[in-house]
Amino acid sequence: MREQIRDIQRLKHILEAIENIQIFTKDSSYEAFLENKILQFAVVKNFEIIGEAAYRITKDLQKQNSHIQWELIIKFRHVLVHDYYNIDLNTVWRAIHDKLQLLKKEIQTLLERIKASEEL
């Protein structure tokens, strides 16, 4: 049960970081993103949080939800942290617009499913 509580907290951290990125970039164009170092750092930091939280999700929960691209999320975080001097901002921007909304829905659905199973 303790592991499930930790997983729930990590999933909530992922959702919060996704929502932060969406709020931060809501009215931003790609060109504005490229010109705004503060925005870049805020977005990258929240992607790092997503990746770290995903890494700390138990392997059992990851296996039960293999449709979520846990490995890709974790690898993206590793690139952002360890290859920080070579971050491709185009890749970051594409992740915001091509991946985040789907991940948000997947995490919300997973949290709802966990909550429903607790109520049984």
- Catalytic member of 2, 13, 78, 82: 82
- Catalytic member of 77, 94, 97, 113: 77
Identity of the residue numbered 97: H
The answer to whether 6 is a known catalytic residue is no
Helix (H) or strand (E) holding 119: helix 100-119
| Count of CA atoms in the C-beta half-sphere (13 A) of 35 | 5
Contact between 7 and 113 under an 8 Å Cβ cutoff? The reply is no
100: nearest Cα among 61, 43, 52? 43
The answer to whether 10 is a known catalytic residue is no
Catalogue the active-site residues: 77, 82
